[in-house]
Structure 1
Protein backbone atom coordinates (compact mmCIF):
# COMPACT_ATOMS: atom_id res chain seq x y z
CA UNK A 1 0.00 0.00 0.00
CA UNK A 2 1.54 3.30 -1.12
CA UNK A 3 0.83 6.12 1.35
CA UNK A 4 1.87 9.73 0.78
CA UNK A 5 2.03 12.10 3.74
CA UNK A 6 1.62 15.81 3.06
CA UNK A 7 2.40 18.29 5.78
CA UNK A 8 4.87 20.65 7.35
CA UNK A 9 8.61 20.04 7.50
CA UNK A 10 10.19 22.07 10.28
CA UNK A 11 12.97 22.47 12.80
CA UNK A 12 11.70 22.47 16.40
CA UNK A 13 13.09 24.63 19.21
CA UNK A 14 11.71 23.02 22.38
CA UNK A 15 12.01 24.70 25.80
CA UNK A 16 10.85 23.75 29.30
CA UNK A 17 9.49 26.13 31.93
CA UNK A 18 9.66 24.72 35.51
CA UNK A 19 6.47 26.45 36.67
CA UNK A 20 2.89 26.53 35.42
CA UNK A 21 1.65 28.99 32.82
CA UNK A 22 -1.64 29.28 34.68
CA UNK A 23 0.12 30.69 37.76
CA UNK A 24 1.43 33.59 35.66
CA UNK A 25 -1.92 34.61 34.18
CA UNK A 26 -4.06 37.30 35.83
CA UNK A 27 -7.72 36.64 35.05
CA UNK A 28 -8.82 40.27 34.57
CA UNK A 29 -5.70 41.21 32.55
CA UNK A 30 -5.81 38.56 29.83
CA UNK A 31 -6.55 41.24 27.22
CA UNK A 32 -3.11 42.80 27.83
CA UNK A 33 -0.86 39.77 28.32
CA UNK A 34 2.87 40.52 28.25
CA UNK A 35 4.90 37.62 29.65
CA UNK A 36 8.41 36.24 29.37
CA UNK A 37 9.23 32.78 30.74
CA UNK A 38 12.75 31.97 31.96
CA UNK A 39 13.25 28.42 30.68
CA UNK A 40 15.59 25.72 31.95
CA UNK A 41 16.38 23.82 28.76
CA UNK A 42 16.51 24.26 25.01
CA UNK A 43 16.49 21.35 22.57
CA UNK A 44 16.76 21.90 18.82
CA UNK A 45 15.17 18.99 16.99
CA UNK A 46 13.84 17.92 13.62
CA UNK A 47 10.07 18.21 13.34
CA UNK A 48 7.04 19.23 11.33
CA UNK A 49 3.79 17.27 11.12
CA UNK A 50 4.44 15.67 7.75
CA UNK A 51 8.05 14.76 8.53
CA UNK A 52 7.16 13.39 11.98
CA UNK A 53 4.46 11.11 10.61
CA UNK A 54 6.67 9.95 7.74
CA UNK A 55 9.58 9.27 10.10
CA UNK A 56 7.42 7.06 12.32
CA UNK A 57 6.11 5.13 9.34
CA UNK A 58 9.64 4.71 8.05
CA UNK A 59 10.67 3.29 11.43
CA UNK A 60 7.89 0.73 11.09
CA UNK A 61 9.09 -0.21 7.60
CA UNK A 62 6.18 1.11 5.54
CA UNK A 63 8.25 3.42 3.28
CA UNK A 64 6.01 6.52 3.18
CA UNK A 65 6.33 9.27 0.58
CA UNK A 66 6.85 12.68 2.17
CA UNK A 67 5.23 15.55 0.28
CA UNK A 68 6.01 19.07 1.48
CA UNK A 69 8.22 22.12 1.03
CA UNK A 70 11.53 22.99 2.67
CA UNK A 71 14.45 25.39 2.23
CA UNK A 72 17.96 24.89 0.92
CA UNK A 73 18.92 24.08 4.53
CA UNK A 74 17.00 20.79 4.24
CA UNK A 75 19.85 18.58 2.97
CA UNK A 76 20.99 17.28 6.37
CA UNK A 77 17.38 16.68 7.38
CA UNK A 78 16.75 14.89 4.06
CA UNK A 79 19.68 12.55 4.67
CA UNK A 80 18.28 11.74 8.13
CA UNK A 81 14.85 10.86 6.74
CA UNK A 82 16.33 8.87 3.86
CA UNK A 83 18.31 6.78 6.36
CA UNK A 84 15.10 6.06 8.26
CA UNK A 85 13.04 4.73 5.40
CA UNK A 86 11.30 7.86 4.09
CA UNK A 87 10.99 8.65 0.38
CA UNK A 88 11.91 12.37 0.20
CA UNK A 89 12.05 12.73 -3.59
CA UNK A 90 8.76 14.65 -3.66
CA UNK A 91 9.90 17.39 -1.25
CA UNK A 92 9.88 20.78 -2.97
CA UNK A 93 12.94 22.94 -2.22
CA UNK A 94 12.42 26.72 -2.06
CA UNK A 95 15.01 28.97 -3.67
CA UNK A 96 14.19 31.87 -1.34
CA UNK A 97 12.92 30.73 2.06
CA UNK A 98 14.25 28.73 5.01
CA UNK A 99 12.64 25.55 6.26
CA UNK A 100 9.75 26.25 8.66
CA UNK A 101 10.44 26.58 12.38
CA UNK A 102 8.36 25.66 15.45
CA UNK A 103 9.22 27.31 18.79
CA UNK A 104 7.45 25.74 21.78
CA UNK A 105 7.60 26.07 25.57
CA UNK A 106 6.21 23.31 27.80
CA UNK A 107 5.39 23.94 31.48
CA UNK A 108 5.52 21.60 34.46
CA UNK A 109 1.91 20.51 33.84
CA UNK A 110 2.74 19.67 30.17
CA UNK A 111 0.76 22.64 28.85
CA UNK A 112 2.34 24.20 25.78
CA UNK A 113 2.66 27.63 24.15
CA UNK A 114 4.10 27.58 20.66
CA UNK A 115 4.68 29.69 17.57
CA UNK A 116 5.21 28.48 14.01
CA UNK A 117 7.14 30.29 11.26
CA UNK A 118 5.96 28.99 7.89
CA UNK A 119 8.96 29.87 5.72
CA UNK A 120 9.25 27.52 2.75
CA UNK A 121 6.08 25.72 3.79
CA UNK A 122 4.10 28.40 1.92
CA UNK A 123 5.35 26.91 -1.35
CA UNK A 124 3.76 23.52 -0.68
CA UNK A 125 0.73 24.77 -2.63
CA UNK A 126 2.86 24.43 -5.79
CA UNK A 127 3.09 20.64 -5.47
CA UNK A 128 0.83 18.52 -7.67
CA UNK A 129 0.00 15.10 -6.29
CA UNK A 130 -0.44 13.56 -9.73
CA UNK A 131 3.27 13.99 -10.39
CA UNK A 132 3.97 12.17 -7.13
CA UNK A 133 1.60 9.37 -8.07
CA UNK A 134 3.17 9.05 -11.53
CA UNK A 135 6.65 8.78 -10.02
CA UNK A 136 5.81 5.97 -7.59
CA UNK A 137 3.27 4.07 -9.69
CA UNK A 138 0.08 5.31 -8.01
CA UNK A 139 -1.11 6.26 -4.53
CA UNK A 140 -3.49 4.23 -2.35
CA UNK A 141 -3.95 6.89 0.34
CA UNK A 142 -2.85 10.46 0.98
CA UNK A 143 -2.69 11.74 4.56
CA UNK A 144 -3.24 15.49 4.34
CA UNK A 145 -1.62 16.89 7.47
CA UNK A 146 -1.18 20.42 8.80
CA UNK A 147 0.57 22.46 6.12
CA UNK A 148 0.16 25.67 4.16
CA UNK A 149 -3.66 26.08 4.21
CA UNK A 150 -3.87 26.60 0.43
CA UNK A 151 -1.78 23.47 -0.08
CA UNK A 152 -4.13 21.48 2.15
CA UNK A 153 -7.13 22.61 0.13
CA UNK A 154 -5.41 21.98 -3.20
CA UNK A 155 -4.29 18.48 -2.20
CA UNK A 156 -7.73 17.62 -0.85
CA UNK A 157 -9.51 18.77 -4.00
CA UNK A 158 -7.00 16.96 -6.20
CA UNK A 159 -7.51 13.72 -4.27
CA UNK A 160 -11.26 14.13 -4.56
CA UNK A 161 -11.11 14.89 -8.30
CA UNK A 162 -8.71 12.04 -9.08
CA UNK A 163 -10.43 9.50 -6.86
CA UNK A 164 -7.48 9.04 -4.49
CA UNK A 165 -8.58 8.13 -0.92
CA UNK A 166 -7.42 10.71 1.62
CA UNK A 167 -7.17 11.22 5.36
CA UNK A 168 -7.97 14.68 6.76
CA UNK A 169 -5.71 15.77 9.62
CA UNK A 170 -6.00 19.51 10.38
CA UNK A 171 -4.22 19.49 13.78
CA UNK A 172 -2.57 22.90 14.42
CA UNK A 173 -4.05 24.57 11.35
CA UNK A 174 -7.63 24.23 12.52
CA UNK A 175 -7.25 27.37 14.67
CA UNK A 176 -6.78 29.60 11.62
CA UNK A 177 -9.30 27.92 9.31
CA UNK A 178 -12.94 28.91 9.02
CA UNK A 179 -15.98 26.70 8.62
CA UNK A 180 -16.18 26.62 4.79
CA UNK A 181 -12.53 25.56 4.44
CA UNK A 182 -12.90 22.85 7.09
CA UNK A 183 -15.97 21.50 5.28
CA UNK A 184 -13.95 21.28 2.06
CA UNK A 185 -11.12 19.46 3.81
CA UNK A 186 -13.18 16.81 5.56
CA UNK A 187 -16.05 15.97 3.21
CA UNK A 188 -15.43 12.61 1.58
CA UNK A 189 -12.35 11.81 3.67
CA UNK A 190 -11.65 8.13 4.20
CA UNK A 191 -10.30 9.02 7.66
CA UNK A 192 -10.68 12.11 9.83
CA UNK A 193 -8.09 12.59 12.62
CA UNK A 194 -8.41 14.96 15.57
CA UNK A 195 -8.01 15.15 19.32
CA UNK A 196 -10.98 15.83 21.61
CA UNK A 197 -10.58 19.61 21.56
CA UNK A 198 -10.16 19.71 17.78
CA UNK A 199 -13.22 17.49 17.41
CA UNK A 200 -15.36 20.05 19.22
CA UNK A 201 -13.78 22.88 17.25
CA UNK A 202 -14.53 21.15 13.94
CA UNK A 203 -18.18 20.75 14.92
CA UNK A 204 -18.41 24.35 16.17
CA UNK A 205 -16.82 25.89 13.07
CA UNK A 206 -18.62 23.76 10.48
CA UNK A 207 -21.98 23.83 12.23
CA UNK A 208 -22.21 20.07 11.64
CA UNK A 209 -23.03 17.64 14.44
CA UNK A 210 -20.94 14.57 15.17
CA UNK A 211 -23.61 12.46 13.47
CA UNK A 212 -23.59 14.65 10.37
CA UNK A 213 -19.80 14.48 10.14
CA UNK A 214 -19.87 10.69 10.45
CA UNK A 215 -22.14 10.70 7.41
CA UNK A 216 -19.53 12.60 5.42
CA UNK A 217 -16.37 10.63 6.29
CA UNK A 218 -15.50 6.96 6.31
CA UNK A 219 -13.85 6.67 9.73
CA UNK A 220 -13.48 9.27 12.48
CA UNK A 221 -10.44 8.78 14.72
CA UNK A 222 -10.35 10.84 17.92
CA UNK A 223 -7.34 10.71 20.23
CA UNK A 224 -8.21 11.00 23.92
CA UNK A 225 -4.84 11.71 25.53
CA UNK A 226 -4.13 9.35 28.42
CA UNK A 227 -7.47 7.61 27.75
CA UNK A 228 -6.33 6.34 24.36
CA UNK A 229 -8.33 6.68 21.14
CA UNK A 230 -11.90 6.25 19.91
CA UNK A 231 -12.80 5.16 16.39
CA UNK A 232 -16.27 5.87 15.05
CA UNK A 233 -18.02 4.79 11.85
CA UNK A 234 -21.58 5.54 10.85
CA UNK A 235 -23.97 2.86 12.05
CA UNK A 236 -21.30 0.90 13.95
CA UNK A 237 -20.24 0.56 17.58
CA UNK A 238 -17.30 2.72 18.64
CA UNK A 239 -13.90 1.09 19.06
CA UNK A 240 -11.95 2.32 22.08
CA UNK A 241 -8.27 1.47 22.48
CA UNK A 242 -6.27 2.23 25.63
CA UNK A 243 -2.62 3.22 25.83
CA UNK A 244 0.35 1.25 27.20
CA UNK A 245 1.88 2.26 30.53
CA UNK A 246 4.49 5.00 30.22
CA UNK A 247 7.99 4.55 31.63
CA UNK A 248 8.29 8.34 31.82
CA UNK A 249 6.59 11.48 30.51
CA UNK A 250 9.41 13.52 28.99
CA UNK A 251 7.68 15.67 26.33
CA UNK A 252 4.25 15.49 24.66
CA UNK A 253 5.39 17.19 21.44
CA UNK A 254 4.77 14.93 18.44
CA UNK A 255 2.71 12.31 20.26
CA UNK A 256 -0.27 12.81 17.94
CA UNK A 257 1.97 12.55 14.89
CA UNK A 258 3.40 9.27 16.20
CA UNK A 259 -0.09 7.87 16.70
CA UNK A 260 -0.95 8.70 13.10
CA UNK A 261 2.28 7.09 11.91
CA UNK A 262 1.42 3.87 13.70
CA UNK A 263 -2.20 3.92 12.62
CA UNK A 264 -1.33 4.53 8.96
CA UNK A 265 1.30 1.81 9.10
CA UNK A 266 -1.36 -0.58 10.37
CA UNK A 267 -3.57 0.38 7.43
CA UNK A 268 -0.61 -0.23 5.11
CA UNK A 269 -0.20 -3.72 6.58
CA UNK A 270 -3.88 -4.45 6.11
CA UNK A 271 -4.72 -5.07 9.77
CA UNK A 272 -8.07 -3.95 11.21
CA UNK A 273 -8.84 -0.56 12.74
CA UNK A 274 -8.40 -1.76 16.33
CA UNK A 275 -4.97 -3.23 15.61
CA UNK A 276 -3.93 -0.12 13.69
CA UNK A 277 -4.94 2.04 16.66
CA UNK A 278 -2.99 -0.20 19.01
CA UNK A 279 0.15 0.23 16.92
CA UNK A 280 -0.44 3.98 16.94
CA UNK A 281 -0.83 4.09 20.72
CA UNK A 282 2.34 2.06 21.26
CA UNK A 283 4.38 4.34 19.01
CA UNK A 284 2.90 7.43 20.68
CA UNK A 285 4.00 6.07 24.06
CA UNK A 286 7.59 5.80 22.85
CA UNK A 287 7.48 9.43 21.74
CA UNK A 288 6.10 10.84 24.98
CA UNK A 289 8.98 9.12 26.79
CA UNK A 290 11.51 11.03 24.65
CA UNK A 291 12.38 14.70 24.19
CA UNK A 292 12.03 15.45 20.49
CA UNK A 293 9.60 14.14 17.92
CA UNK A 294 12.08 11.93 16.04
CA UNK A 295 14.57 11.03 18.77
CA UNK A 296 13.01 7.78 19.93
CA UNK A 297 14.62 4.46 19.11
CA UNK A 298 12.32 1.78 17.76
CA UNK A 299 13.69 -1.69 18.49
CA UNK A 300 11.41 -4.47 17.29
CA UNK A 301 11.89 -6.78 20.31
CA UNK A 302 11.30 -3.96 22.80
CA UNK A 303 8.29 -2.65 20.86
CA UNK A 304 6.69 -6.10 20.62
CA UNK A 305 7.35 -6.92 24.28
CA UNK A 306 5.52 -3.83 25.44
CA UNK A 307 2.82 -4.22 22.77
CA UNK A 308 2.16 -7.81 23.89
CA UNK A 309 2.00 -6.82 27.56
CA UNK A 310 -0.68 -4.20 26.82
CA UNK A 311 -2.74 -5.76 24.04
CA UNK A 312 -2.22 -9.52 24.37
CA UNK A 313 -0.65 -12.32 22.39
CA UNK A 314 -3.27 -12.47 19.64
CA UNK A 315 -2.78 -8.81 18.81
CA UNK A 316 1.00 -9.19 18.96
CA UNK A 317 0.96 -12.20 16.65
CA UNK A 318 -1.08 -10.35 14.04
CA UNK A 319 1.00 -7.17 14.19
CA UNK A 320 4.32 -8.97 14.51
CA UNK A 321 3.75 -10.75 11.21
CA UNK A 322 4.04 -7.38 9.44
CA UNK A 323 6.52 -5.51 11.64
CA UNK A 324 9.80 -7.04 10.43
Structure 2
Protein backbone atom coordinates (compact mmCIF):
# COMPACT_ATOMS: atom_id res chain seq x y z
CA UNK A 1 0.00 0.00 0.00
CA UNK A 2 2.10 2.87 -1.30
CA UNK A 3 1.90 6.18 0.55
CA UNK A 4 2.94 9.23 -1.45
CA UNK A 5 4.76 11.85 0.60
CA UNK A 6 4.86 15.25 -1.09
CA UNK A 7 7.14 17.52 0.89
CA UNK A 8 10.66 18.72 1.47
CA UNK A 9 14.01 16.99 1.68
CA UNK A 10 16.39 19.17 3.65
CA UNK A 11 19.57 19.28 5.62
CA UNK A 12 19.00 20.42 9.21
CA UNK A 13 21.66 22.32 11.12
CA UNK A 14 20.47 21.86 14.70
CA UNK A 15 21.85 24.05 17.47
CA UNK A 16 21.21 23.88 21.22
CA UNK A 17 20.85 27.10 23.21
CA UNK A 18 21.46 26.53 26.92
CA UNK A 19 19.04 29.22 28.10
CA UNK A 20 15.45 30.23 27.48
CA UNK A 21 14.38 32.38 24.54
CA UNK A 22 11.86 34.10 26.80
CA UNK A 23 14.71 35.40 28.97
CA UNK A 24 16.70 36.69 25.99
CA UNK A 25 13.85 38.47 24.19
CA UNK A 26 12.48 41.63 25.78
CA UNK A 27 8.75 41.98 25.23
CA UNK A 28 8.91 45.77 24.88
CA UNK A 29 11.81 45.62 22.41
CA UNK A 30 10.47 43.13 19.86
CA UNK A 31 10.25 45.89 17.23
CA UNK A 32 14.06 46.16 17.14
CA UNK A 33 15.49 42.73 17.87
CA UNK A 34 19.27 42.41 17.84
CA UNK A 35 20.09 39.24 19.70
CA UNK A 36 22.63 36.43 19.44
CA UNK A 37 22.31 33.00 21.02
CA UNK A 38 25.46 31.13 22.05
CA UNK A 39 25.07 27.60 20.69
CA UNK A 40 28.08 25.46 21.66
CA UNK A 41 26.40 22.32 20.33
CA UNK A 42 25.66 21.95 16.61
CA UNK A 43 24.88 19.00 14.36
CA UNK A 44 23.97 18.54 10.71
CA UNK A 45 21.19 16.03 10.13
CA UNK A 46 19.13 14.63 7.30
CA UNK A 47 15.69 16.19 7.52
CA UNK A 48 12.81 17.77 5.68
CA UNK A 49 9.27 16.67 6.39
CA UNK A 50 9.11 14.23 3.46
CA UNK A 51 12.35 12.55 4.48
CA UNK A 52 11.31 12.36 8.13
CA UNK A 53 7.83 11.00 7.41
CA UNK A 54 9.19 8.42 4.98
CA UNK A 55 11.84 7.31 7.47
CA UNK A 56 9.26 6.72 10.21
CA UNK A 57 6.83 5.02 7.85
CA UNK A 58 9.59 2.65 6.79
CA UNK A 59 10.16 1.75 10.48
CA UNK A 60 6.53 0.58 10.53
CA UNK A 61 7.13 -1.54 7.40
CA UNK A 62 5.08 0.91 5.36
CA UNK A 63 5.75 1.67 1.69
CA UNK A 64 6.74 5.35 1.45
CA UNK A 65 7.22 7.08 -1.90
CA UNK A 66 8.85 10.50 -1.60
CA UNK A 67 7.95 13.21 -4.12
CA UNK A 68 10.42 16.03 -3.58
CA UNK A 69 13.16 18.16 -5.11
CA UNK A 70 16.79 18.13 -4.04
CA UNK A 71 19.73 20.33 -4.97
CA UNK A 72 23.16 19.88 -6.49
CA UNK A 73 24.54 19.08 -3.01
CA UNK A 74 22.00 16.30 -2.43
CA UNK A 75 24.14 13.28 -3.30
CA UNK A 76 24.60 12.18 0.30
CA UNK A 77 20.84 12.30 0.88
CA UNK A 78 20.14 10.20 -2.22
CA UNK A 79 22.72 7.66 -1.04
CA UNK A 80 21.01 7.55 2.35
CA UNK A 81 17.63 6.83 0.76
CA UNK A 82 19.25 3.97 -1.14
CA UNK A 83 20.68 2.53 2.09
CA UNK A 84 17.27 2.77 3.74
CA UNK A 85 15.67 1.09 0.71
CA UNK A 86 13.33 4.05 0.24
CA UNK A 87 12.71 4.57 -3.46
CA UNK A 88 13.81 7.90 -4.90
CA UNK A 89 12.23 7.57 -8.34
CA UNK A 90 10.07 10.65 -7.66
CA UNK A 91 12.91 12.75 -6.25
CA UNK A 92 13.98 15.36 -8.80
CA UNK A 93 17.45 16.92 -8.71
CA UNK A 94 17.65 20.66 -9.42
CA UNK A 95 21.21 21.29 -10.60
CA UNK A 96 21.01 25.07 -10.22
CA UNK A 97 20.02 25.12 -6.54
CA UNK A 98 21.15 23.97 -3.14
CA UNK A 99 19.09 21.44 -1.23
CA UNK A 100 16.66 23.10 1.19
CA UNK A 101 18.33 23.80 4.52
CA UNK A 102 16.92 24.52 7.97
CA UNK A 103 18.89 26.21 10.72
CA UNK A 104 17.13 25.26 13.95
CA UNK A 105 17.94 26.62 17.41
CA UNK A 106 16.28 24.90 20.39
CA UNK A 107 16.21 26.25 23.95
CA UNK A 108 16.06 24.29 27.21
CA UNK A 109 12.25 24.32 27.14
CA UNK A 110 12.11 22.74 23.69
CA UNK A 111 11.06 25.98 21.98
CA UNK A 112 12.54 26.42 18.52
CA UNK A 113 13.55 29.30 16.26
CA UNK A 114 14.12 28.23 12.65
CA UNK A 115 15.61 29.95 9.61
CA UNK A 116 14.84 28.09 6.39
CA UNK A 117 16.39 28.35 2.93
CA UNK A 118 14.02 26.69 0.43
CA UNK A 119 16.54 26.16 -2.37
CA UNK A 120 15.47 23.32 -4.67
CA UNK A 121 12.13 23.10 -2.86
CA UNK A 122 11.03 26.14 -4.87
CA UNK A 123 10.83 23.87 -7.93
CA UNK A 124 8.60 21.23 -6.30
CA UNK A 125 5.74 22.08 -8.69
CA UNK A 126 7.75 20.42 -11.47
CA UNK A 127 6.90 17.07 -9.89
CA UNK A 128 3.55 15.61 -10.96
CA UNK A 129 1.52 13.25 -8.78
CA UNK A 130 0.48 11.30 -11.88
CA UNK A 131 4.08 10.11 -12.22
CA UNK A 132 3.86 8.29 -8.88
CA UNK A 133 1.66 5.46 -10.16
CA UNK A 134 -0.88 3.67 -7.93
CA UNK A 135 -1.10 5.30 -4.50
CA UNK A 136 -3.28 4.39 -1.51
CA UNK A 137 -2.87 7.67 0.39
CA UNK A 138 -0.91 10.90 -0.02
CA UNK A 139 0.18 13.73 2.22
CA UNK A 140 0.77 17.30 1.07
CA UNK A 141 3.30 18.50 3.62
CA UNK A 142 5.41 21.68 3.78
CA UNK A 143 7.09 22.23 0.42
CA UNK A 144 7.34 24.93 -2.22
CA UNK A 145 4.18 27.06 -2.30
CA UNK A 146 3.34 26.28 -5.93
CA UNK A 147 4.11 22.61 -5.40
CA UNK A 148 1.72 22.30 -2.46
CA UNK A 149 -1.08 23.90 -4.44
CA UNK A 150 -0.38 21.73 -7.48
CA UNK A 151 -0.08 18.45 -5.61
CA UNK A 152 -3.35 18.99 -3.77
CA UNK A 153 -5.19 19.51 -7.06
CA UNK A 154 -3.38 16.56 -8.63
CA UNK A 155 -4.51 14.26 -5.81
CA UNK A 156 -8.13 15.28 -6.26
CA UNK A 157 -7.94 14.85 -10.03
CA UNK A 158 -6.54 11.33 -9.54
CA UNK A 159 -9.01 10.42 -6.75
CA UNK A 160 -6.19 9.98 -4.24
CA UNK A 161 -7.21 10.76 -0.64
CA UNK A 162 -4.69 13.05 1.01
CA UNK A 163 -3.72 14.68 4.29
CA UNK A 164 -3.22 18.43 4.17
CA UNK A 165 -0.34 19.12 6.55
CA UNK A 166 0.57 22.81 6.16
CA UNK A 167 3.05 22.86 9.04
CA UNK A 168 5.52 25.72 8.96
CA UNK A 169 4.43 26.46 5.40
CA UNK A 170 1.03 27.67 6.59
CA UNK A 171 1.98 31.39 6.64
CA UNK A 172 2.57 31.24 2.86
CA UNK A 173 -1.18 31.01 2.23
CA UNK A 174 -4.00 33.47 2.76
CA UNK A 175 -7.41 32.59 4.15
CA UNK A 176 -9.12 31.76 0.86
CA UNK A 177 -6.24 29.54 -0.23
CA UNK A 178 -6.34 27.65 3.06
CA UNK A 179 -10.10 27.17 2.71
CA UNK A 180 -9.45 25.80 -0.77
CA UNK A 181 -6.93 23.31 0.64
CA UNK A 182 -9.44 22.21 3.28
CA UNK A 183 -12.16 21.71 0.66
CA UNK A 184 -9.81 19.55 -1.44
CA UNK A 185 -8.33 17.53 1.42
CA UNK A 186 -9.58 14.29 2.90
CA UNK A 187 -7.82 14.94 6.22
CA UNK A 188 -6.18 17.96 7.86
CA UNK A 189 -3.35 17.64 10.39
CA UNK A 190 -1.98 20.59 12.39
CA UNK A 191 -0.41 21.28 15.76
CA UNK A 192 -2.13 23.54 18.28
CA UNK A 193 -0.29 26.70 17.16
CA UNK A 194 -1.05 25.97 13.50
CA UNK A 195 -4.68 25.32 14.43
CA UNK A 196 -4.93 28.83 15.87
CA UNK A 197 -3.36 30.31 12.76
CA UNK A 198 -5.57 28.21 10.47
CA UNK A 199 -8.81 29.21 12.20
CA UNK A 200 -7.72 32.84 12.36
CA UNK A 201 -6.92 33.09 8.66
CA UNK A 202 -9.91 31.10 7.40
CA UNK A 203 -12.39 32.46 9.97
CA UNK A 204 -13.53 28.86 10.41
CA UNK A 205 -13.81 27.20 13.81
CA UNK A 206 -12.20 23.80 14.37
CA UNK A 207 -15.69 22.25 14.27
CA UNK A 208 -16.33 23.90 10.91
CA UNK A 209 -13.01 22.64 9.55
CA UNK A 210 -13.77 19.15 10.85
CA UNK A 211 -17.15 19.08 9.09
CA UNK A 212 -15.43 19.72 5.75
CA UNK A 213 -13.05 16.74 5.96
CA UNK A 214 -13.13 13.10 7.01
CA UNK A 215 -10.91 13.87 9.98
CA UNK A 216 -9.15 16.83 11.59
CA UNK A 217 -6.12 15.99 13.71
CA UNK A 218 -4.71 18.52 16.18
CA UNK A 219 -1.56 17.66 18.12
CA UNK A 220 -0.97 19.36 21.46
CA UNK A 221 2.56 18.38 22.48
CA UNK A 222 2.74 16.72 25.88
CA UNK A 223 -1.03 17.09 26.21
CA UNK A 224 -1.59 14.49 23.48
CA UNK A 225 -3.81 15.07 20.47
CA UNK A 226 -7.42 15.39 19.37
CA UNK A 227 -9.02 13.73 16.38
CA UNK A 228 -12.33 15.05 15.12
CA UNK A 229 -13.96 12.40 12.92
CA UNK A 230 -17.34 10.77 12.35
CA UNK A 231 -18.99 13.51 14.36
CA UNK A 232 -16.93 12.53 17.39
CA UNK A 233 -13.90 13.89 19.24
CA UNK A 234 -11.25 11.34 20.13
CA UNK A 235 -8.75 12.28 22.84
CA UNK A 236 -5.36 10.72 22.16
CA UNK A 237 -3.03 10.52 25.16
CA UNK A 238 0.63 11.44 25.03
CA UNK A 239 2.91 8.42 25.40
CA UNK A 240 5.59 9.00 28.02
CA UNK A 241 8.97 9.17 26.31
CA UNK A 242 12.06 7.40 27.59
CA UNK A 243 13.77 10.79 27.47
CA UNK A 244 12.94 14.24 26.17
CA UNK A 245 15.95 15.14 24.05
CA UNK A 246 14.96 16.88 20.80
CA UNK A 247 11.50 17.77 19.43
CA UNK A 248 12.79 18.14 15.86
CA UNK A 249 10.76 15.83 13.60
CA UNK A 250 8.27 14.68 16.23
CA UNK A 251 5.34 15.97 14.21
CA UNK A 252 6.61 14.11 11.16
CA UNK A 253 6.89 10.88 13.16
CA UNK A 254 3.31 11.42 14.33
CA UNK A 255 2.15 11.85 10.74
CA UNK A 256 3.85 8.63 9.70
CA UNK A 257 1.80 6.85 12.35
CA UNK A 258 -1.34 8.52 10.99
CA UNK A 259 -0.57 7.43 7.44
CA UNK A 260 0.14 3.86 8.49
CA UNK A 261 -3.05 3.62 10.54
CA UNK A 262 -5.21 5.07 7.77
CA UNK A 263 -3.78 2.81 5.05
CA UNK A 264 -4.19 -0.23 7.30
CA UNK A 265 -7.83 0.59 8.08
CA UNK A 266 -7.28 1.05 11.80
CA UNK A 267 -9.89 2.82 13.92
CA UNK A 268 -9.15 6.41 14.85
CA UNK A 269 -8.21 5.71 18.46
CA UNK A 270 -5.63 3.11 17.45
CA UNK A 271 -4.35 5.29 14.62
CA UNK A 272 -3.92 8.26 16.96
CA UNK A 273 -2.26 6.16 19.64
CA UNK A 274 0.24 4.72 17.16
CA UNK A 275 0.99 8.23 15.91
CA UNK A 276 1.49 9.41 19.49
CA UNK A 277 3.85 6.51 20.17
CA UNK A 278 5.94 7.30 17.10
CA UNK A 279 6.33 10.88 18.29
CA UNK A 280 7.43 9.75 21.74
CA UNK A 281 10.00 7.37 20.27
CA UNK A 282 11.46 10.13 18.12
CA UNK A 283 11.73 12.75 20.86
CA UNK A 284 14.17 10.55 22.81
CA UNK A 285 16.81 10.92 20.05
CA UNK A 286 18.61 13.84 18.48
CA UNK A 287 17.60 14.75 14.93
CA UNK A 288 14.67 13.65 12.84
CA UNK A 289 16.01 10.31 11.62
CA UNK A 290 18.34 8.81 14.23
CA UNK A 291 15.90 6.64 16.19
CA UNK A 292 15.89 3.08 14.90
CA UNK A 293 13.50 0.75 16.77
CA UNK A 294 12.54 -2.47 15.05
CA UNK A 295 8.94 -3.07 14.04
CA UNK A 296 8.70 -5.62 16.87
CA UNK A 297 9.96 -3.07 19.38
CA UNK A 298 7.33 -0.58 18.20
CA UNK A 299 4.60 -3.21 18.58
CA UNK A 300 5.82 -4.14 22.06
CA UNK A 301 5.93 -0.52 23.19
CA UNK A 302 2.41 0.03 21.86
CA UNK A 303 1.19 -3.01 23.81
CA UNK A 304 2.91 -1.76 26.97
CA UNK A 305 1.37 1.70 26.62
CA UNK A 306 -2.17 0.71 25.64
CA UNK A 307 -2.69 -2.92 26.65
CA UNK A 308 -3.37 -4.30 23.18
CA UNK A 309 -1.57 -4.79 19.86
CA UNK A 310 -2.23 -2.83 16.70
Q: Deviations over 1:154-188 (max 9, x none)?
A: 11112222322111000001123211221122213
* Structure 1 residue 304, shift from structure 2 partner: 2.6
* Residue 46 of structure 1: aligned partner: 46
Give the corresponding residue for 1:174: 170
Q: Which residue of 1 aligns with 2:290?
A: 295
Aligned to 1:111: 111
Q: Distance in 1 between matches of 2:229 and 2:261?
A: 18
CA–CA distance in structure 1, aligned partners of residues 73 and 107 of structure 2: 30
The 1-side partners of 2:277 and 2:240 are apart by: 9
2:137–2:263 Cα contact (<8 Å) kept? no
Task: State the partner residue of 2:158.
Answer: 162
Is the 2:152–2:184 contact (alpha carbons within 8 Å) kept by the matching residues of 1? no
Could you state the TM-score of these two structures normalised by the residue count of structure 1? 0.92
Matched, 1:16 2:11: no
Query: Which structure 2 segments of 5+ residues have no match?
Result: none
Aligned to 1:64, the other structure's residue is in SS state strand
Deviation at 1:129, TM superposition (A): 0.8
Q: How many residues align?
A: 310
2:196 counterpart (200, 204, 224): 200
Deviations 1:121-168 (A, max 9, x none): 1111111111222xxxx1222100000011000111122223221110
Unmatched 5+ stretches in structure 1 = 320-324
2:259 aligned with 1:264: yes
Residue 55 of structure 2 aligns with which residue? 55
CA apart distance, 1:220: 0.4
Matching residue within 221, 228, 253 for 1:225: 221
**Deviation per residue, 1:173-208 (Å, 9 max, x gap):** 112321122112221311100011111111110112
Between 1:296-305 and 1:244-253, the stretch displaced more is: 296-305
Q: CA deviation at 1:293?
A: 0.2
Change (3 A) 1:164 1:301: closer
TM-score, normalising length from structure 2? 0.96
Distance 1:302 1:141, change over 3 A: closer
